[in-house]
Structure 1
Amino acid sequence: MARIIGGIGTSHVPTIGVAYDKGKQEDPAWTPLFEGYKPVAAWLAEKKVDVLVFFYNDHCTTFFFDLYPTFAIGVGEKFPIADEGAGLRNLPPLRGNVDFQAHIAESLVNDEFDLTVFQEKPIDHGCAAPLPLLWPHEPDWPGTIVPIAINVLQYPLPTALRCYRLGLAVRRAIESYPEDLRVVVVGTGGLSHQIHGERTGFNNTEWDMEFLDLLENDPAKLLQMTHADYVRLGGAESVEQIMWLSMRGALGNRIRKLHQNYYLATTTAMTVVLYEDDDGQGELLAFGEAA
């Protein structure tokens, strides 16, 4: 069967993609960020990962506020990289395994997640900014993508607990797929940042470190938090952290952190962290259950 072997949390700041495309890997302002992704890319190559499942948010590229789904999954053989104003990127389209994507979609609907399904729509920096730092892309990507978009823009948003339960359901879907695939789940966004209003430029490194510790060791505490809690602690846009909880929910009870890089040089705390699924089975306790 398909199985999840690890999880990645990563920022998806659009300027990461711009810096990558302009070859700024050796620029002193960007080197700490790019160097931080190299151990993750090496691990993915070593493990010969077949599929990356991305929990990300669309920034009004494919969806707009007149029709913005709570959860959406891409099903298709390929997805173009969106032009978000800096020109078309020199990246091949993302590849998809339709059978696998369709299986996950059907499983999630049967698990009572009402999904929007999209095809051949462009994927923006929510997924495409960190992807070339994780996977090589010449002449093509080494594996396929399952894009799962989560609404973190237009209220009402799904709760932290709902996003976590989505991760649990995705794990069940993956483990019920009969083909032998090595899968890694990726949660994107955050960490602390605010890019508008009176707190423009706000960051909270202390909270970022606490969030990363809780995510690894005690995620149940994060599930009790409201959107207002996340915004107060990390800034308005840091509500994206709930997408990391989908990644965490898809991992097993025991995980092991292999790598973490935290770099605060712009308005966003740019972070990448790699977890290995240590037990390969089971789920975290649903919130409210006794140990």
Structure 2
Amino acid sequence: MAEIVAGIGISHVPALGPAVDAAATGKDTNPLMKAFTDVGSWLSETKPDVLVVIYNDHGASFSFDLVPTFAIGAAESYMPADEGFGRPPLPEYPGDADLSWHIIDSVVPEGFDLTVCQSLDVDHGFSTPMKVLFGTPEAWPVKVIPLAVNVVQQPTPSAQRCYDLGKAIGRALRSYPKDVRVAVIGTGGMSHQLQGERAGHINPDFDQRFLSEIVSSPESLASLSNPEYINLAGSEGAELVMWLIMRGALDDDVETGLSGYVIPVANTAAGVVAMQNAGSTQKAASTENTAALQNAAAL
């Protein structure tokens, strides 16, 4: 049977990639970047076969004329999107269409009407976390399933709806009959706003609360309304509801592998948190390594 081996929440601001590269090469000695440089190593120890990556499209595949609430890729591969500067020099992402269709066939009867994409280009909302996790390999070491969420145009799905979808995806993954190791990645956030009178808005208190409660009490975050998210985290910080899909897919009882927070990265806060189910058959890091990662990433 399939096993969910890891859950990661991570920002996808484009500047995060160069910042992580600088930290990894010693050009940036900010200790708060350590969690971002180590998260890929943490994930590689879990040996996932497939990543379900929850992200939002920034106009590369969907426009304001057509924005599905939830859209899932069901293709054998996905191309990195041209966002106005040509396709980035990244390899094609291999898909797992069989698992995609299993998720679709499982969650649609539960009332989640997913838009099914048998062809889909993925933009920086998807590719930035992949670069942070794996660098720029000649070929990606895992298969991927993209899940795009509308967090750009009202009406957007509520935090509770996202959390509930995550629960349904978790049930779908656990019922998949093949022996596949799956990691679920929720991207976006943390607090930031790119326009209007509050352009530049960052709320470290809420960001740190979110990093704590996404582990210990996600229901409290799911209970917040969309206006509350926008008020607390900014119009683009509302992307954090995508982390709740990731968290919903995990068990109620989880353990934290690492957590980190840095500010600012291109006028936005950036965060990362990595978790495993408490009953996981394989831990991604030893107790010693986990303590070192948490200390290095202390807020």
What is the TM-score of this pair, normalised by structure 2? 0.88
Indicate conservation of the 8 Å contact 2:13/2:188, yes or no: yes
1:133 is matched with 132
1:288 is matched with none
Matched position secondary structure for 1:14: coil
Listed one character per residue, the Cα deviations across residues 87-143 of structure 1 (whole Å, up to 9, x for unaligned) are: 422210111011111111111112221111112321001111110221255321111
Matched position secondary structure for 2:252: coil
Residue 48 (structure 1) shift: 1.1
Judging changes above 3 Å, is the alpha-carbon distance between structure 1 residues 230 and 16 closer, same or farther for their aligned structure 2 residues?
same
Judging changes above 3 Å, is the alpha-carbon distance between structure 1 residues 73 and 32 closer, same or farther for their aligned structure 2 residues?
farther
2:261 is matched with 262
2:19 and 2:224 map into 1 onto residues whose CA distance is 35
Matched position secondary structure for 2:236: helix
Residue 273 (structure 1) shift: 1.1
1:184 and 1:117 map into 2 onto residues whose CA distance is 21
2:258 and 2:40 map into 1 onto residues whose CA distance is 11
Q: Which amino acid aligns with 1:228?
A: P
1:277 is matched with 277
Indicate conservation of the 8 Å contact 2:6/2:46, yes or no: no
Matched position secondary structure for 2:173: helix
Q: Percent of aligned positions with the same letter in both sequences? A: 43
Matched position secondary structure for 2:40: helix
Matched position secondary structure for 1:100: helix
Listed one character per residue, the Cα deviations across residues 36-72 of structure 1 (whole Å, up to 9, x for unaligned) are: 3232211222221111111111111101111110000
1:66 is matched with 65
Indicate conservation of the 8 Å contact 1:33/1:270, yes or no: no
Indicate conservation of the 8 Å contact 2:78/2:120, yes or no: yes
Indicate conservation of the 8 Å contact 1:75/1:119, yes or no: yes
Could you list the structure 1 runs, at least 4 aligned residues long, displaced by more than 3 angstroms after superposition: 23-35
1:5 is matched with 5
1:180 is matched with 179
Indicate conservation of the 8 Å contact 1:254/1:277, yes or no: yes
Matched position secondary structure for 2:53: strand
1:244 is matched with 243
1:30 and 1:202 map into 2 onto residues whose CA distance is 26
Residue 257 (structure 1) shift: 0.8
2:88 and 2:278 map into 1 onto residues whose CA distance is 36
1:69-218 superposed matches below 5 A: 69-218=68-217
Does 2:16 correspond to 1:16? yes
Residue 28 (structure 1) shift: 4.5
Indicate conservation of the 8 Å contact 1:136/1:142, yes or no: no
Residue 240 (structure 1) shift: 0.5
Residue 162 (structure 1) shift: 0.3
Aligned length, in residue pairs: 279
Which runs of no fewer than 5 residues in structure 1 stay unpaired? 282-291
Residue 216 (structure 1) shift: 1.1
Residue 30 (structure 1) shift: 8.4
Which runs of no fewer than 5 residues in structure 2 stay unpaired? 282-299
1:150 and 1:33 map into 2 onto residues whose CA distance is 29
Indicate conservation of the 8 Å contact 2:19/2:28, yes or no: no
1:98 and 1:35 map into 2 onto residues whose CA distance is 34
Indicate conservation of the 8 Å contact 1:32/1:263, yes or no: no
Indicate conservation of the 8 Å contact 1:74/1:146, yes or no: yes
Matched position secondary structure for 2:190: coil
2:29 and 2:188 map into 1 onto residues whose CA distance is 18
1:284 is matched with none
Judging changes above 3 Å, is the alpha-carbon distance between structure 1 residues 188 and 205 closer, same or farther for their aligned structure 2 residues?
same
1:30 and 1:89 map into 2 onto residues whose CA distance is 27
Residue 24 (structure 1) shift: 4.2
Indicate conservation of the 8 Å contact 1:80/1:120, yes or no: no
1:48-63 superposed matches below 5 A: 48-63=47-62
Indicate conservation of the 8 Å contact 1:252/1:280, yes or no: no
Judging changes above 3 Å, is the alpha-carbon distance between structure 1 residues 280 and 169 closer, same or farther for their aligned structure 2 residues?
farther
1:31-42 superposed matches below 5 A: 35-42=34-41
2:293 is matched with none
Indicate conservation of the 8 Å contact 2:79/2:93, yes or no: yes
